[in-house]
Structure 1
Amino acid sequence: MPDTQHFREVLSQFDWTSAVDILLIAAVIFTLLRIMSGTRVMTQLRGMLALFLVFVVLGRALDLTVINYLVENSVTALLIGAAIIFQPEFRRGLDRLGRTGVSGWFTPARYEDVIDSVVKAAGRMSAEKHGGLFVLERETGLQDVIETGIPVDARVSPELLAGIFYPNSPLHDMAVVLRDERVVAAGCVLPLANELPAFDRNLGTRHRAAIGITEATDALTVVVSEETGDISVALHGRLTHVPDERGLKAVLEWVLEPGTAANARAGEPPV
């Protein structure tokens, strides 16, 4: 039976100052998580936290003396170590807070303009056989990829995207990274795919890069072939050809805006 008397004693000590205390701690934790939300560190922290919880549960359930001792005496050291190891990410997050303010964190990501711009730019580039590679950031931050390119920080538009990939322009060779409704950087270097199916092994570097970044993150990439003008979409390490602008728009809406009415009525995903 649970110790109800002890529970009542704890509740009797809870007053408005305790509520303020809890709210302040929650606000600090929330702020730290939002600061790191633009980097891959967030994914790494989830893994570390899951591993830590496994040790806590196993130690308590099986009464493992050494594991319990390490867990109880390593929390402070782990927090200090995390602050040192992830110092660059904290700096980037604080810079982001200074540029966008707190209100920008509570606004959900909007993809309508991004989808429209990417579809129109890809269609134009496909018709003119201009190669290009667009990377759309989702939950996993791509700050380390962004830092390999040239900062742009401009509102997304079809003209801007098509202009970046115009042949012989200084930034046409690599990838463009889009975050929310902005073109964050251009000329970004992406990791290449580790392994390809037998029927995809003749793909060029641009397509391998489009697949590679989706193997390591949850990003979505759109690639336009310079040789054929074909448009393809990569997600979760899989490259899928789309026939035209309409097909591309359907795929982007399915992935980026799954809650829309059109997607709710649809049966299977387009890719």
Structure 2
Amino acid sequence: MASLRTITVTTLVVIFSFLGVSLAKTLECKKTGACSCQMSDNSGAIDLSRVSNSGFPAIDARYKDVKSKDASSYSFNPCWPFEEVGCHGVAICQRVPDRRAAVYFTLGTHETAQFLHNGTHVILKYEGKSGTGHAIRTSWITLICNEENDDTLFIPIGEDPYVKPMHYYFALKSPCACPGKCSDSERDEKKESHDEKIETKEGDDEKKEGEEEKIEKKEGDDEKKEGEEEKIEKKEGEVDKNEKKEGEEEKIENKEGDDKNEQQGGEGEKNEIKEGEGNKKDGE
């Protein structure tokens, strides 16, 4: 149901797009190649090369035998000519089923590609000659910008039975239908800008790493300094301890000296008393 709704909405977009082709005068998409053009409002280039098979000769179409409501199936390759049974070197080919054998018609070649603008969408127009009398068949492909995802969808609306000569309508919904999305030059500029941002970020990261290294080094120096200060404090503590010990030893020595002096003084007094008693005895 979702896909049917998408196709129905796309069909309406395509129909109204063609009604406005002749009215759009403000915007243009100047052709720069078989599948590319440059927007006149400087919004960027439309380049379909990423959604086209490439190579030469006789490659397959990128979008092959996609069925339409008009019972035909269509093949389309935006940038390079392809081969398909009755279609040779074409951009777009119609396959009409038949009971005996399918019939093929060329609906456009890359040499006839034109880029038009209806004020809303870019229209890719092709012309081709095939069938009895080489009748001219015109294809109109509305390029719808897909900003939702990276998918590309080729949608055949089919032949308009009320318009003569024969006209065929299609839509190509793709990110590459968005100006500036898929062009090589703009992609290179974006890549360069992206690379510059990466280089700047890497430079900032290196600068940050350098600053972090400086901080780590400073922290290491601070820790080393703190360690040295701790050693100095420890050494000073040991010196104070030794001085205290030496002071205590001096006190002990002084005390021992005082005790010895007292002892010697006591013995001297005793000797004096003894001598005095001896002298007294001798006098008697």
- Shared topology, TM-score over 0.5? no
- After TM superposition, the score normalised by the length of structure 1 is 0.19
Greater share of strand = 2
Higher RCO, 1 vs 2 (CA within 8 Å, ≥6 residues apart)? 1
